[in-house]
Amino acid sequence: MDAYGPPTKSTKQKEIQGLLLGRYEIGKLLGHGTFAKVYHARNVKTGEGVAIKVIDKEKILKVGLISHIKREISILRRVRHPNIVQLFEVMATKTKIFFVMEFVKGGELFNKVSKGRLKEEVARKYFQQLISAVSFCHARGVYHRDLKPENILLDEDGNLKVSDFGLSAISDQIKQDGLFHTFCGTPAYVAPEVLARKGYDAAKVDIWSCGVILFVLMAGYLPFHDQNVMSMYKKIYKGEFRCPRWFSPDLIRLLTRVLDTNPETRITISEIMNNKWFKKGFKHVKFYIEDDKLCSVNDDQNDETDCLSDQSLSESDSEMETRRKITTLPRPASLNAFDIISFSRGFDLSGLFEEGADKGARFVSGAPVSNIISKLEEIAKVVSFTVRKKDCRVSLEGSRDGVKGPLSIAAEIFELTPALRVVEVKKKGGDKEEYDEFCDRELKPGLQSLMMGNDVHSSYLPSDTE
């Protein structure tokens, strides 16, 4: 399953299985990520199955994600809807945070789509449920910003459940210009205005992603797809997509409005709900919102477990603040899509070096800035180069005079997305042949471990980004 890392049977995982957490008995590991593990659990009183996300408090404090967790809790409190994965309660100990969530048995929508396109009536039902959930979120001031089939689960009755609100935003985060400015989302599903980094209406961004999902459900493949990510970005900017012959005229007209590259003229949620193709068989979901109080302390809980509160987090947060001020590196300069495209016509985010005559070499990495700089320092030490650092720029300077003087190399780190960095390496001085030899023998092998690989994410796990 794409959303979960493969379960492993470590000693720690064996230890937690069978333990009682309040009224819940912890069961098998479902998946894991950088900061959390997700277990199946059973309510010992009712026998109901739940999913419990166990978050390592120390890890999230170290990387400054405590506000991220608080925001996710706040968001999940706002969005109680039949087509959204529910958060039942939140508990905490001195070292862990526990999200008790609805356990969705049917797996990801992605797994269903990966087997081929869906029948029109099935795709329409899922799209109707998705729009119903998104409409509810927007009415509550919540914007998902990372809608995709991997973040949509199906229950045992085949009903859709939106999950993973880790990248979600709330109205309070809107800047003075009335727009959001954080780059987030998944490339194939992201709206063109997000790539431009000029601010965007998050509601319109969610609508675009819903349109891409609808296309995938009906076609079995993406509307904007290319193995070269930059080529895909270009297609997204231009709105270049073709509908298969089995798409009905009504569906094509709807998709043309949803995948409008101009957010000002893009269709709205209310207009979608009044669309002829959408309305066929659509039933408005009726439900009631329960008490928003998610935390509860039970008599049978152990003394160390308590409801998660701002106070329980803030005490540890303040302890980490001084350390973060010392260790946090300056944030790299951000790249918008135009910046990246200007690098090279064939720029490929494959994790391999891409070289040009005068443009140096580049690669993409998911490693933190500190790790990249440390690796550059290690390489420099091996060949006795001097290292000079300023913000996210590193200079490696040789001491031996070559044909054209000492070899000097500049490396600069840019932010592609909050989770990805582009590392650009250029020759500043010295002979080109010496530079090429240095890249082949030292630089490329030394940096190989930092090049972009396949990370495992979970629909239940917190994102590493704000």
Residues making up the annotated binding site for ATP are 53
Whether the Cβ atoms of residue 200 and residue 229 lie closer than 8 Å to each other: no
Angle in degrees, 0-180, between the axes of helices 249-258 and 202-219, rounded to the nearest 10: 150
Each as own residue / partner, the long-range contacts of residues 42-45 (CB below 8 Å, 24 or more positions apart, any chain) are: 44/20
Catalytic, out of 2, 56, 146, 292 = 146
Q: From the annotation, which residues make up the binding site?
A: 53
Cα–Cα dist 135/94, whole Å: 37
Q: How far is CA 391 from CA 63, 115, 327, 329, 348, in A?
A: 18, 47, 13, 7, 26
| Residues found in the chain | 466
115 CB-near residues (< 8 Å, 6+ apart): none
Q: Parallel, antiparallel, or unpaired for β 24-32 and 36-43?
A: antiparallel
Catalytic residue status for 300: no
78 CB-near residues (< 8 Å, 6+ apart): 137, 140, 141, 142, 170
Residue 168: burial class (beta carbons within 10 Å; 0-12, 13-18, 19+): buried
CA-angle at 409, arms to 404 and 415, nearest 5°: 155
178 CB-near residues (< 8 Å, 6+ apart): none
Tokens of 344: 């090279």
User: What single-letter DSSP state applies at residue 6?
Assistant: P
User: What single-letter DSSP state applies at residue 443?
Assistant: I
Cα–Cα dist 228/239, whole Å: 17
303 CB-near residues (< 8 Å, 6+ apart): none
In DSSP notation, 88-136 reads EEEEE-SSEEEEEEE--TT-BHHHHHTT-PPPHHHHHHHHHHHHHHHHH
Tell me the β-bridge partners of 161.
153
User: Taken in order 230, 233, 239, 240, is the CA torsion positive or negative?
Assistant: positive
Residues serving a catalytic function are 146
